[in-house]
Amino acid sequence: RKEVEQDPGPFNVPEGATVAFNCTYSNSASQSFFWYRQDCRKEPKLLMSVYSSGNEDGRFTAQLNRASQYISLLIRDSKLSDSATYLCVVTFDAGNMLTFGGGTRLMVKP
């Protein structure tokens, strides 16, 4: 079983739609959680951190459920430019090592 699991997708949604991704992690001792974004043929970049209380950045909302060991990313009012692969990231130690999920591909259509 992978330590961090994501539905690979693709999620095909129309512009303006709301879309949500989930990610599950297996290690209950996991400490920190993040979402990264990777555009086609580009390197991954940090999108946002995920806090226990949840956090919001514009159209993006990230939430953590420690009891069920999953994190989520909600994108409202999808834009064409949101098309990318979204990587779930978990740290199990003091934060030196990041464990990446396989990514969920999102395609926003006109």
Query: Where does this chain bind other proteins (CB under 8 A)?
Result: 8, 32, 34, 42-46, 49, 87, 89, 91, 94-98, 100-103
75 and 59 in contact (C-beta within 8 Å)?
A: yes
| Amino acid occupying residue 84 | A
Antiparallel, parallel or unpaired: β 11-14 and 104-109: parallel
Distance of closest approach, residue 108 Cβ to other proteins, in angstroms: 21
Nearer to other proteins, 44 or 54 (CB): 44
Distance of closest approach, residue 80 Cβ to other proteins, in angstroms: 23
Distance of closest approach, residue 34 Cβ to other proteins, in angstroms: 4
Distance of closest approach, residue 89 Cβ to other proteins, in angstroms: 7
Specify whether the backbone of 3 is left (phi greater than 0), alpha (psi in -120 to 50) or beta: alpha
- Residue with token string 């459920």: 65
Instruction: Give the pair of three-digit tokens for residue 11.
Output: 């999620």
35 and 62 in contact (C-beta within 8 Å)?
A: yes
